[in-house]
Amino acid sequence: MVDLLEKMMLSGLGALALSKTRGEELLAELREKYRLSEDEGRVLLEKLQGMAQQGKNTLADSAENEVKKAIRAAGMVTREEYELLEQRVAGLELRLSALAEVDDPEE
Protein backbone atom coordinates (compact mmCIF):
# COMPACT_ATOMS: atom_id res chain seq x y z
CA MET A 1 0.00 0.00 0.00
CA VAL A 2 2.86 2.38 0.82
CA ASP A 3 4.41 1.64 -2.59
CA LEU A 4 1.18 2.62 -4.30
CA LEU A 5 0.99 5.91 -2.39
CA GLU A 6 4.63 6.63 -3.14
CA LYS A 7 4.05 5.98 -6.84
CA MET A 8 1.01 8.28 -6.82
CA MET A 9 3.01 11.10 -5.23
CA LEU A 10 5.93 10.67 -7.61
CA SER A 11 3.57 10.63 -10.59
CA GLY A 12 1.98 13.84 -9.39
CA LEU A 13 5.32 15.53 -8.90
CA GLY A 14 6.41 14.40 -12.35
CA ALA A 15 3.24 15.88 -13.82
CA LEU A 16 3.99 19.16 -12.06
CA ALA A 17 7.52 19.20 -13.45
CA LEU A 18 6.14 18.56 -16.93
CA SER A 19 3.57 21.31 -16.37
CA LYS A 20 6.33 23.78 -15.53
CA THR A 21 8.32 22.85 -18.63
CA ARG A 22 5.19 22.99 -20.75
CA GLY A 23 4.31 26.33 -19.15
CA GLU A 24 7.67 27.77 -20.15
CA GLU A 25 7.20 26.47 -23.70
CA LEU A 26 3.71 27.93 -23.83
CA LEU A 27 5.03 31.26 -22.58
CA ALA A 28 7.65 31.34 -25.35
CA GLU A 29 4.95 30.57 -27.93
CA LEU A 30 2.65 33.26 -26.56
CA ARG A 31 5.43 35.84 -26.46
CA GLU A 32 6.27 35.12 -30.07
CA LYS A 33 2.68 34.89 -31.31
CA TYR A 34 1.31 37.93 -29.46
CA ARG A 35 4.56 39.87 -29.36
CA LEU A 36 4.57 40.23 -25.59
CA SER A 37 7.20 42.44 -24.01
CA GLU A 38 9.75 41.06 -21.58
CA ASP A 39 7.78 42.51 -18.65
CA GLU A 40 4.47 41.12 -19.90
CA GLY A 41 6.12 37.74 -20.39
CA ARG A 42 7.57 37.86 -16.88
CA VAL A 43 4.14 38.69 -15.38
CA LEU A 44 2.58 35.84 -17.33
CA LEU A 45 5.30 33.44 -16.18
CA GLU A 46 4.75 34.47 -12.55
CA LYS A 47 1.03 33.76 -12.94
CA LEU A 48 1.80 30.35 -14.43
CA GLN A 49 4.22 29.58 -11.61
CA GLY A 50 1.58 30.61 -9.06
CA MET A 51 -0.91 28.28 -10.67
CA ALA A 52 1.65 25.46 -10.63
CA GLN A 53 2.35 26.10 -6.92
CA GLN A 54 -1.37 25.94 -6.17
CA GLY A 55 -1.53 22.63 -8.02
CA LYS A 56 1.41 21.35 -6.02
CA ASN A 57 -0.24 22.35 -2.74
CA THR A 58 -3.50 20.72 -3.80
CA LEU A 59 -1.64 17.55 -4.71
CA ALA A 60 0.17 17.51 -1.35
CA ASP A 61 -3.12 17.97 0.52
CA SER A 62 -4.79 15.22 -1.52
CA ALA A 63 -1.88 12.86 -0.92
CA GLU A 64 -1.98 13.53 2.82
CA ASN A 65 -5.72 12.85 2.93
CA GLU A 66 -5.30 9.61 0.99
CA VAL A 67 -2.53 8.46 3.34
CA LYS A 68 -4.77 9.17 6.33
CA LYS A 69 -7.60 7.19 4.71
CA ALA A 70 -5.24 4.28 4.04
CA ILE A 71 -4.02 4.34 7.63
CA ARG A 72 -7.60 4.31 8.91
CA ALA A 73 -8.56 1.48 6.54
CA ALA A 74 -5.61 -0.57 7.81
CA GLY A 75 -6.77 -0.03 11.39
CA MET A 76 -3.71 2.00 12.35
CA VAL A 77 -3.56 5.20 14.40
CA THR A 78 -1.77 8.40 13.52
CA ARG A 79 1.34 9.57 15.36
CA GLU A 80 -0.72 12.29 17.07
CA GLU A 81 -3.30 9.78 18.30
CA TYR A 82 -0.54 7.49 19.54
CA GLU A 83 1.14 10.32 21.45
CA LEU A 84 -2.17 11.37 23.04
CA LEU A 85 -2.79 7.80 24.17
CA GLU A 86 0.76 7.60 25.49
CA GLN A 87 0.17 10.75 27.56
CA ARG A 88 -3.13 9.43 28.89
CA VAL A 89 -1.52 6.13 29.93
CA ALA A 90 1.32 7.97 31.67
CA GLY A 91 -1.23 10.10 33.54
CA LEU A 92 -3.21 7.03 34.58
CA GLU A 93 -0.02 5.29 35.75
CA LEU A 94 0.79 8.31 37.93
CA ARG A 95 -2.70 8.28 39.42
CA LEU A 96 -2.53 4.53 40.09
CA SER A 97 0.89 4.93 41.65
CA ALA A 98 -0.42 7.67 43.93
CA LEU A 99 -3.43 5.54 44.90
CA ALA A 100 -1.20 2.55 45.62
CA GLU A 101 0.92 4.66 47.98
CA VAL A 102 -2.19 5.82 49.89
CA ASP A 103 -3.66 2.30 50.13
CA ASP A 104 -0.38 0.63 51.21
CA PRO A 105 -0.32 0.83 55.05
CA GLU A 106 3.27 -0.43 55.28
CA GLU A 107 4.68 2.79 53.87
Q: Which residues of the chain have pLDDT under 50?
A: 1-2, 5
pLDDT recorded at residue 82 = 93
Q: Average pLDDT over the chain, rounded to whole?
A: 75
| Residues 44 and 27 sit within 8 Å (Cβ to Cβ) | yes
Please state, in angstroms and rounded to a whole number, the distance separating the CA atoms of residues 96 and 50: 56
- Which CA distances in Å does 42 have to 30, 37, 63? 12, 8, 31
pLDDT recorded at residue 7 = 56
pTM of the model: 0.41
| Residues 64 and 6 sit within 8 Å (Cβ to Cβ) | no
